[in-house]
A and B are shown apart, each in its own frame.
Chain A
Amino acid sequence: GAVVSQHPSRVICKSGTSVKIECRSLDFQATTMFWYRQFPKQSLMLMATSNEGSKATYEQGVEKDKFLINHASLTLSTLTVTSAHPEDSSFYICSALGLAGGRETQYFGPGTRLLVL
């Protein structure tokens, strides 16, 4: 149980275009999902907290107009990187809050590798 998927797994786009990444909880409902960015050989940096039916909460320094988050259902959150630039190239990972042993914990998706040319 507690499987989280992401789509696409890999995307290459031209500078200036927008890219949408989907995060799905496959076998459980997640009212809360999280979006992280991970640069090569670095840690996971929390970008925003996505709550179903409400606006996302962004971490300091993350531009909400550039990284649009929509959590329209209990199993789906999307991250849209708008007007992508080469510096946005990174590994984007989502997680969904689910139950483990009666307590909530984060389950991670497989990540999406974004390359902006």
Chain B
Amino acid sequence: GENVEQHPSTLSVQEGDSAVIKCTYSDSASNYFPWYKQELGKRPQLIIDIRSNVGEKKDQRIAVTLNKTAKHFSLHITETQPEDSAVYFCAASITGTYKYIFGTGTRLKVLA
């Protein structure tokens, strides 16, 4: 089955710097890759997603890149702010099932 690895597990950056979180997946049939932000004790919120027919997608300060050949995708947050502090999860969706297999999460701390 699909396996998603995520790195780093924790990440501290200074306010205004960029943060990059990387994920790899194992199933080449996966074709949808969402990223979620989860604050402590709250529901995961979709922040950006990418499908396998594109290599990059951007939404203001957030961007995601996908390398299908290498089976990895990354989240990029620029000009980080303290409110970006949270746990970020990547996921890969298995074709046709809409099931998400989540990565292990990255705890991002933005230092003011």
Query: Which residues of A approach B to under 8 Å, CB–CB?
Result: 4, 32, 34, 42-46, 49, 91, 93, 97, 100, 103-111, 113
> Known contacts A42-B105, A43-B105, A105-B49; is A34 also within 8 Å of B100 by CB?
yes
> Known contacts A43-B89, A44-B89, A111-B43; is A106 also within 8 Å of B103 by CB?
no
| Interface flag for B44 (CB, 8 Å) | yes
> Known contacts A43-B89, A44-B89, A49-B97; is A109 also within 8 Å of B102 by CB?
no
Question: Ordered nearest first, which 3 A-B pairs have the shortest CB separation?
Answer: A108-B43, A110-B43, A44-B102
Interface size class of B (residues with CB under 8 A): 20 to 34
Contact check, A43 vs B103: say whether CB atoms are below 8 A apart. Answer: yes
Could you tell me the distance between the alpha carbons of A111 and B43 in the complex, rounded to whole angstroms? 6
How many inter-chain contacts with C-beta < 8 Å in the A-B complex?
A: 48
* Contact for B98 among A93, A97, A110, CB less than 8 A: A97
User: B107 — nearest CB in chain A belongs to which residue?
Assistant: A41
Within B80-112, the residues touching A (CB, 8 Å) are 89, 97-105
Could you tell me the distance between the alpha carbons of A82 and B46 in the complex, rounded to whole angstroms? 31
- Which chain B positions have C-beta within 8 A of A49? 97, 99
> Known contacts A42-B105, A43-B89, A44-B89; is A111 also within 8 Å of B42 by CB?
yes
